[in-house]
Structure formats: structure tokens, C-alpha cells
Amino acid sequence: MPSFICVTCGNQFAATAQPPHHCPICEDDRQYVNPSGQAWTTLDELQTSHHNIVRALEPGLWEIATQPKFGIGQRALLVRGQAGNVLWDCVSLIDQATIEAVQALGGLSALAMSHPHLFGSMVDWSHAFGNAPIYLHASFREWVQRPDPTFRYWDAESHALAGGIGLQRCGGHFDGSSVLHWPDGADGRGVLLSSDTLYVTPDRRHVTFMHSYPNFIPLDVPTVERVVGAVMPLQFDRIYGHFDNLSIETDAKAAVERSLGRYKQAIGVRN
């Protein structure tokens, strides 16, 4: 039986003879059901119509992006850690060409997900690399549509992976929304992989914070302050978002502070 994939959000579901009746991730108010109706595909179908691009972003960091665009169009980011490679977030497509490209970079030792919108086909990715563990914040249990023994749930405010890479819960977009901290990145100045937790804006000088990005639902100021407060103790000078070309190359910590002030001013809160 196939593991059907939601065309709108890109999440893969447990194997069934027929497509699921609905997608709980799309029905949540942070996402949306396509006005033309719920639609499904399979990994076999995706492999005939799409392909992945693997591209270096800086020494030790690569992006994996599906073309043409599928789902919400995110990229996965592969970090070369001191004790093995970590895949941050996931895409829906995995094929033999992608497996070979990742194996040439050293394979995967672990996967970690920022929030449910970017789960993709994480179980198939794990299985392709020796059942590599998938790290999820414990609050995401209810959002997992394809259970698997490879999941490793963590429930503290932070979680250390091997090789100096760390996960930091920030909340905001989801209660368990997280970032990945890569202290060796940016020539040792530190990198955050921020996903939707701190969304890099098109000017690449700010980040923003939302309950729902497609539905334009903002967060309240205390929640945004907690998101910012969770990352400020970390050492980082660069941020990579989850869409192509959305990154803050330098002085990213100051950009986060500046973004908090701009956000508060925009919704009428004065310091």
C-alpha cells in the first residue's frame, strides 16, 4: 500500500489502500485546504515528475530543494557535524539520485524537524539512511501522520545532538517550534537554521513571527518576546531560513533584536 502525500502541505501519511479522507495539518488554521479540494500523490508519482537539487551554501552546509516546486516549496538543510550529518527539516521527494548525492556527502546520522509543516517524507528519508533517528519536540506527537520507531521525542527547552549541534525550542508558530544551532557555521561565528520560527524576510535584514503565514495571523507580543529570548543566549552571526535565498549573512543577532522592535511598533506596542 502507498504512503499518500498531501499535495498542499507535502506531509506523508501512513500506508493505506486509499487516500486519507482529510489532512489534519491543512485543516489547522496555520495552514489551509486548497479551495479546489484535498489532493494526494505518492512518492512513486513524485519521482516521475520532480527532482531534487543539492547545492552547497557554505562549507559544511547544503540545501536540498525540490523542482518544480511542490507543497509549500521549502528546502531541507544538511549540516555536516563533527559526529555526522544532520538533516534539518525535510522535503517530500527522495529518489536514488538524491540518496547518492547525500551519501557522497557522508550520509545522514540524524534528522531533526522544526515543526509539522516541514515533516515531508521524513520516515522514508530516515529509512534510506539506515533508519537514522528523527528528533521531534514532544509536542509534535499529535501531528505525526506516519508513526515509526525511528522517532526520538525530546521535551526540554533544548536538546543536544552529537557533534556540537543543538536544538532550541522557541515556541511561537507552534508550541514546539524550534531552531537548530550550528556553532561551527559561518567560520565559527555560529549559524541558526530558523525555519518558520524566525522567518527571514525578503529584505534579508529582518525576521518575523507569525501564528499563520499563509493566513496572515500574527502572534502576540509576549509570545514573540519569548521566541527572541530563547535564541539570544546562543552564539550566531548568520541565519538560514527554509526558503531558497532567504538568509541573513552577517550580524544576524542584531537583526533579530531589530526585528522584535519593528514587530512591536507595527502592532502598536511601545517599549
What pLDDT does residue 82 have? Answer: 84
Pairing of strands 84-88, 75-81: antiparallel
The set of cell numbers assigned to 64 is 536540498
Q: Are 148 and 70 in contact (CB under 8 A)?
A: no
Query: Could you give phi then psi for residue 123, rounded to 5 degrees?
Result: -70, -45
What pLDDT does residue 175 have? Answer: 97
pTM above 0.85, yes or no: yes
| Per-residue pLDDT tens digits for 50-84 | 999 999 999 999 999 999 999 999 999 999 988 89
Q: Are 237 and 182 in contact (CB under 8 A)?
A: no
What pLDDT does residue 249 have? Answer: 97
**Exposed, middle or buried: residue 225 (CB in 10 Å: 0-12, 13-18, 19+)?**
middle
For the chain, list the domains and their CATH numbers: 5-37+50-266 (3.60.15.10)
CA separation for the pair 169, 162 (Å, rounded):
17
SS3 content of the chain, % helix, strand, coil (to 5): 25, 25, 50
What pLDDT does residue 81 have? Answer: 86
In the three-class reduction of DSSP (H, G, I as helix; E, B as strand; rest coil), residue 37 is classed as coil
What pLDDT does residue 156 have? Answer: 95
The one-digit pLDDT tens for each residue of the chain (271 residues) are 999 999 999 999 999 999 999 999 999 999 999 999 899 999 999 999 999 999 999 999 999 999 999 999 999 999 998 889 999 999 999 999 999 999 999 999 999 999 999 999 999 999 999 999 999 999 999 999 999 999 999 999 999 998 899 999 999 999 999 999 999 999 999 999 999 999 999 999 999 999 999 999 999 999 999 999 999 999 999 999 999 999 999 999 999 999 999 999 998 876 6
